[in-house]
Structure 1
Amino acid sequence: MRFGNASIMIINTTTIDTGDYTCYFPELNGGLTFNITLVVGSVPKPIVTMSKVTDSGVQLKCEVQGAFPKPELRWQNCDGNIFDAEEAEISERDGRYHITLQTTVTSTTTTCFQCVVQQKDLNHETGSTITVPEKPFVDPCGKVTIEGLMTGIVVGAGLLVLVLVLLVFFKFITVRRVRAGTQKTDGDNETNEPLKSEHITV
């Protein structure tokens, strides 16, 4: 105090220590009062998962458990471009916030995405990154799905079998007609001219 310096150290703080503190000096210049607001924050690193893969895109989920004060969450790619997200699911238990934020990303030029958690009151920010497997998106203009490829193979094989059956059928008819033209008539020693077939066989 003789050097004009007074300090109080609070150790092992928890979120319940958050509040307004007053320091009063009754004998300093007729009495002086100093006020300070203490905010004890807590936010674990968010958990990010790929919850669902559909034809429309990939659904990503970000979960924060036990944060204080209430943070803001956002989804962005690793270049910093922010994505639209669903409305956040927020619940509060024992003064702590549990938040889930989901977004669906469609075909993009990157597979790296981040969930960022920001506490503006504390000027604090943290986040987690997830890498989606190489392009699980389906581009209807430039890519063929496995199901579509298999369907095309089955349909093509069916058409090929049908064409072969028709070719064999018409060739059989052509042979029978030609053989019928080579038979001899009674009393005629000459063989008739074979009937000409107008069918072309392959």
Structure 2
Amino acid sequence: MIYRQLWVSYIETTALSIITSTITYRAADITKTITSHGGLTGALFRHENLLYGYLESTQPIDLHTLWDHLLGDMLLPVPSVHGPRVAIELPDIYHDGVPGDGPHWRAPGYTPQKRVGSLARIKPDMYCSYVYYHFLRQEEIPHGFNKYYIIGAHEFQIFSYQEWPATVDEPKPKGSFDSQITPKNWQELMHIHFDLWPNQPKETQEWIRLPLLWEL
């Protein structure tokens, strides 16, 4: 079985100027440690004082313990229901595909040409609507456009991970909903949910791309 996890970590103020170079320097150790815990593939991205990550593994991984060991000297423990943690797991609010939906999740020898992490902001009064429509689409139209695409939520910011080129399995698995309620004007409808990023060109006003710091 393959497990998928998304998370966010806060960078200590004193580490803001050096964390990117530190991750590059420690990349081999990060890869070795994660694979020893069952990690199969993953990526780490940055936005200002935040790190966002994606991980696939053969077993659920305690992200706090993992990243406290790897980067605990540079990450800020934040309150959670489990106590202070340096890595907060994000709830999955949308995924286009699920491991096990098809004959194989990743074909032998498959390597993505590009891993893309993006960040968006949702208007607080539109958050429930955004989650509702995405759950509807997820259950009505599985494997609709990119089976590795997944969105996690952190307060009113949402982080998405995907791999390019997009992969869609055929035949597509049947959705768990027989309804056909997902709106046809999807892009237009979604646009009103976003709190647009300022000072961005039109194509990145909804979602900004995050720099990739590490990948497995």
TM above 0.5, one fold?
no
Tell me which interval the TM-score lies in, with the shorter structure as reference length: under 0.3
Query: What is the TM-score with the length of structure 1 in the denominator?
Result: 0.26
Which has the higher Rg, Structure 1 or Structure 2? 1
Q: Which has the higher contact order (CA 8 A, sep 6+)?
A: 2
Larger helix share, 1 or 2 = 2
Query: What is the TM-score with the length of structure 2 in the denominator?
Result: 0.25
